[in-house]
Amino acid sequence: MADTAKPKGGGTAKGSRGRRQNQKNESPNLADESSKDLLDHYRRMLLIRRFEERTGQAYTQARIGGYCHLNLGEEATVIGLTSALHERDYLFTNYREHGYAIAKGMSPRGVMAELYGRTTGVSKGWGGSMHMFDTETRLLGGYGIVGGQLPLATGAALAVTYRGGDEVVMCQMGDGTTNIGAWHESLNIASLWNLPIVYVVVNNFTGMGTTVEMASAEPDLYKRGSAFRIEGKRVDGRDVLAVRDTTTELVERARSEQRPFLLEAFSYRMKGHSVVDPAKYRTQEQADEARDRANDPVAIFAEKLEEAGVLTEDTKKEIADSVREEVADAADFAENSPHPDVSTLFDYTYATPVANESKRMPADPVFAE
C-alpha cells in the first residue's frame, strides 16, 4: 500500500524527513512472483549500479566531459518505474537519466558512447550525459534545465489525446522541481484538459544542497497535486516491487481514465548532486545514512531474494560476472568509437530548418563580411 492524497482531501500535516525515512510500504509477497522476473529485476538494478560506478570512474579519468549526474541509490526506483510502462509509452526525464535510458531499452553501449561524446552514442555524441534521446525506445530526453521536461511531457500527453492514442506519458523529475513555475503550469493544464500523464517526483530529500523541508511549504510532495485536483501517492523508492506495483496502478488508471496522476518515490542519493559535488552541505550523520546498507536498494533486494531462496551464491556470482562484462564492453565500445566531426555541430539542433539560425563557430567573426 502507498500513501494517497485525494484531490479534495490531503490534510495539512507537514511531513518530516524522519517520518519518510521510517516509512515502508507493504511490499508484494515474493512467493507470488516468478523467479525469472525477480532475477531480471535484480540484474537490471545491478547493471545500473555498475554502469554508474564505471561512469563515475570514467569522469575522473577525463573520458567524459560536461556535467554528470548518477542514479546511484535510485536503482529500485528506475527499474520499478520503467517496468510499469509499455513499450509504446513515453518517458521524459531530467538530467539524471543514464539508468532510465538503459531501462527504457537503449543499449549500454549507446549510452556510454554518448557519455564519451562519440558518434555511436544515442544522441550521436552531441547530447552528452544530460541529453539522451531516442524516438525508437520513446525516451524523449534527458533535459538539463530543471523542470524543462514538464511542459514538453505535458504537450506529448496532449498529442496522444489529440491523436486518439492509448499511450501514457511518464514525466520524471527531482524534488526541487516542484517549486518552479513549470510545475504549476503543467499540472494545471494536465488536469484541466484530462491528459494521460503520470508525474513522478524522485525525492532524495535534497534539492541540490537544500533540504525539501527548507524549500517546500508542503514537504509531503505527493500532496502537491491537490491544488490541481490531481490524486497523488507516495511509495518507498528503495523497494523495486512496491514501486512497480504502485506505478502500474497509476499508469493504467491514467490510460483508462484519461487523467493525470502524481507519484512521489523517496530514496537516498548515495553521492553528491553531481560527480564533482563533494556534498559538504551534508552532516556526517546524513552522509552515513545515505550510504547505509539498510538504505541501499540493491543490497536490500539481494537480501530478500537470498532469504527467499531465489538468489543463490552461484546465481549471484553469475549475474555479477555477466554485468561486469557488459559494462566493460560498453566502456570499450565507447573508447574505440569515433568523435563527431566539428562540421556536424549544428546538424541536430532543430528537427526542421529554422530561419536565421546561427551556426557561428567560436573562431568565426561575429559579422560576416
According to DSSP, the β-strands at 210-211 and 206-207 are: antiparallel
Q: Is 101 helix (H, G, I), strand (E, B) or coil?
A: helix
- What pLDDT score does 31 carry? 87
pLDDT mean across residues, the chain = 92
User: What's 277's domain CATH number?
Assistant: 3.40.50.970
CB 168 within 8 A of CB 120: no
Q: Has residue 93 been placed in a domain?
A: yes
d(CA 125, CA 58): 16
Entry pTM: 0.92
Give the rounded percent of residues in the chain with a pLDDT score beyond 90.
Answer: 78
Q: How confident is the model at residue 1 (pLDDT cuts 50, 70, 90)?
A: very low
- What pLDDT score does 35 carry? 96
Confidence check: pLDDT of 195 > 80? yes
Q: Has residue 334 been placed in a domain?
A: no
Q: Has residue 74 been placed in a domain?
A: yes
- What pLDDT score does 13 carry? 34
Q: Count of H helices and E strands in the chain?
A: 12, 8
Confidence check: pLDDT of 12 > 60? no
- What pLDDT score does 198 carry? 98
Q: How confident is the model at residue 235 (pLDDT cuts 50, 70, 90)?
A: very high
Total number of domains in the chain: 1
Nearest to 261 by CA among 6, 71, 20: 6
Region of poorest pLDDT, from 78-92, 269-283, 313-327: 269-283
User: DSSP label at 207?
Assistant: E
Q: Has residue 53 been placed in a domain?
A: no
- What pLDDT score does 356 carry? 87
Give the rounded percent of residues in the chain with a pLDDT score beyond 70.
Answer: 93
Cell of 173: 523529475
- Segment 276-280 shows an average pLDDT of 88
Range of the domain at 233: 64-105+131-307
Confidence check: pLDDT of 65 > 80? yes
- Segment 33-44 shows an average pLDDT of 97
- Segment 240-268 shows an average pLDDT of 98
d(CA 73, CA 51): 13
141-165 per-position pLDDT tens digit: 999 999 999 999 999 999 999 999 9
According to DSSP, the β-strands at 197-203 and 206-207 are: unpaired
63-100 CB burial, b ≥16 within 10 A, e <16:
bbeeebbbbbbbbbbbbbbbbbbeeebbbbbbbbbbbb
Q: Has residue 198 been placed in a domain?
A: yes
- What pLDDT score does 162 carry? 96
Confidence check: pLDDT of 327 > 90? yes
Confidence check: pLDDT of 338 > 60? yes
Residue 169 parent element (H or E): strand 169-174
- Segment 247-265 shows an average pLDDT of 98
Q: Has residue 246 been placed in a domain?
A: yes
319-354 CB burial, b ≥16 within 10 A, e <16:
beeebeebbeebbebbeebeebeeeeeeeeeeeeee
- φ, ψ for residue 53, nearest 5 deg: -65, -40
d(CA 164, CA 180): 31
Q: How confident is the model at residue 223 (pLDDT cuts 50, 70, 90)?
A: very high
Question: How many C-beta atoms lie closer than 10 Å to residue 166's C-beta?
Answer: 12
Q: Where are the alpha helices (DSSP H) in the chain?
A: 17-22, 35-60, 75-83, 98-103, 108-115, 149-163, 181-192, 212-215, 240-257, 284-291, 297-307, 313-335
CB 180 within 8 A of CB 146: yes
Confidence check: pLDDT of 5 > 90? no
Confidence check: pLDDT of 169 > 60? yes
Q: Has residue 312 been placed in a domain?
A: no
Cell of 260: 493525470
- As to burial, measured by CB atoms within 10 angstroms (0-12 exposed, 13-18 middle, 19+ buried), residue 27 is middle
d(CA 77, CA 17): 19
Nearest to 72 by CA among 83, 57, 84: 57
- Segment 284-298 shows an average pLDDT of 92
Confidence check: pLDDT of 60 > 50? yes
Q: Has residue 143 been placed in a domain?
A: yes
CB 69 within 8 A of CB 275: yes
